[in-house]
Structures are given as structure tokens and as C-alpha cells.
Amino acid sequence: MVARLLAAQEWLRSQTPYSLLIVDAYRPLAVQEFMVHHTLRSLVAAEGRQWDTLSATALADYQQRVTQFWAPPSCDPATPPPHSTGAAVDLTLRDAEGAALDMGSPIDELSERSFPDHFAADPGPFHQHRQWLRRAMETAGFQQHPHEWWHFSYGDQLWAWRSGIATACYGRVA
């Protein structure tokens, strides 16, 4: 993973004045579980709803919205969350002074603005920044999450699926 990240960084620096800024990588299953539940409860509260009064249908809708971005915590060896395999990384770009570039939405935003090509029709910098990040990571063999401009994998189930490979290289780290 480190060699691939260094290769992505080297390619990016050969093409732009930018560098990679890693935000998150390995995440134990307990942390994944906490983050999914925290995000779910935060979304419910942000929309002015009370957790205790949600119907089963409303709860299922909230869960679907969260799991579009967050992998459910799973002890099943066939379906570990990508970050719990050590094969996923969340990152962004930073400028020559070290400041994170504006990518059009913050990491972990639960909206369509987080989709990698959300700004494709806009000639502004957001899409261009996302394209530089994607190209750098893809040149090193990573695959991008279809709903997260910041999430890339190498060797997990997401990577295998996006690469057309039958099985992942890595499972959950215990």
C-alpha cells in the first residue's frame, strides 16, 4: 500500500504542484461500527427527527442513505468493511503550502456533491482537482469508490469488483 501511495504521489508531483494528504486509512471494526452509528444518529438529528420515534421504514431510509457512503460493520470474512482490511485510504490534495484544496464537498459529506463526477459539467476547479486525485491514484493501481471522491482501495472487495477481479487480496485485519 505504501509503495502504491508513493507512486501516486510521485506521478501527481510530476504533473501538478499538488501532493496527497491522507485523512484516514485502517479503521478497526469497532471504530467502523461507531462511525456508522454516529453518522446515522447525526443525520437523523440534523433533519430534526427523534431517534426513538422513527418508524421502521424511516429508519431503513436513513440506513440506506448512510450505507451509500459508509460500509456497514461486518464480522463476516466475505464482507469486511474496506477500511477494516487496511486496503482503503481516504485522501485529498494539498497545495505547495500544505493547505488542503477545496474539492467541492468535505470528506464524508452524505450528499451527491460527494460523488466523484458531481462537478463534471462545471468548468470550475472542483472537478479538475478530483480528476487529478483520481488519475494519480489510478496510475498506482487504486480503484475509486463510486460515491466518494476521497476513497480509494487496492486489494479489497471494492477494488476487486471495480477491477473485474473475482476475489480480493485482503480480508479484515483482526
The three cell numbers of residue 117 are 463526477
Q: Right CATH number for 2-28+76-163 from 3.30.930.10, 3.30.1380.10, 3.30.1130.10, 3.30.230.10? A: 3.30.1380.10
Give the span between the Cα atoms of 111 and 63, in whole angstroms. Answer: 14
What is the mean predicted confidence (pLDDT) over 37-57? 94
Q: Is the pLDDT of residue 59 over 80?
A: yes
Catalytic entry in 10, 47, 109, 148: 148
Task: Verify whether residue 148 is a known catalytic residue.
Answer: yes
pLDDT tens, position by position, 78-102: 888 999 999 999 999 999 999 999 9
Q: What pLDDT does residue 75 have?
A: 86
pLDDT tens, position by position, 128-145: 999 999 999 999 999 999
